[in-house]
Amino acid sequence: MGGAAAVLAAIVLVAYLHSYRNSVNSSSAPATVLVARNLIQKGTPGDFIGTNRQFQVASVPKKELQGGALTDPAALSGRVAVADIYPGQQLTAASFAYAAPGSLQTKLTGADRAITLTVDASHGMIGQIAAGDHIDVFIGFNVQGAGGTQPVIKLLMADVLVLKVRSAD
């Protein structure tokens, strides 16, 4: 009877150790994930990240894989980074939010920036420009010099894309 119990205990122990070894091996098995190659700033469109290869495919132990980790670059499409993502950081679904197709967030890439300029009828060409036009922006100011005040007009920005025009009130 004692010998049978010892054999049964040995079988249970071997089965337990086998199961434990399999669980340890599966948690250290490599998993593929996308990680940032360089700093990805908040607001960067996922399409830009994908087309400019701002990520790299890395292999990490399965136990280090973050929840919602992205493994397919196609998952970046139509999304925008919601916070800065640092080099080596895993790209996760929580790091991105969906952006409406054609929205400003999906149009700005790289060093592009958008600003709002308020222009009234006496200082601009309201009614004569439309979204999609390219314009030059000039600034006018007065310079105080030895000969008195001199008006100066300078080109501030050239070939600026108009994103939206609000109708005159």
- The letter for the amino acid at 91 is L
Percent of the chain with pLDDT over 70: 80
| pLDDT at 27 exceeding the cut of 60 | no
Structural class in CATH, domain 29-107: alpha beta
Percent of the chain with pLDDT over 90: 20
pLDDT band at 91 (very low <50, low <70, confident <90, very high): very high
Residue 27 CA neighbour count, 13 Å, CB half? 7
- Collapsed DSSP state (helix, strand, coil) of residue 89: coil
pLDDT at 100: 80
Q: What are phi and psi of 24, to 5 degrees?
A: -65, -45
Cα→Cα distances 83→39, 80, 90, 146, Å: 11, 9, 13, 51
- Report the C-alpha gap between 8 and 145 in whole angstroms: 103
pLDDT band at 39 (very low <50, low <70, confident <90, very high): very high
In the structure encoding, which two tokens stand for residue 14, read together? Answer: 């071997």
Average pLDDT over residues 118-146: 79
In the chain, CATH 3.90.1210.10 sits at 29-107
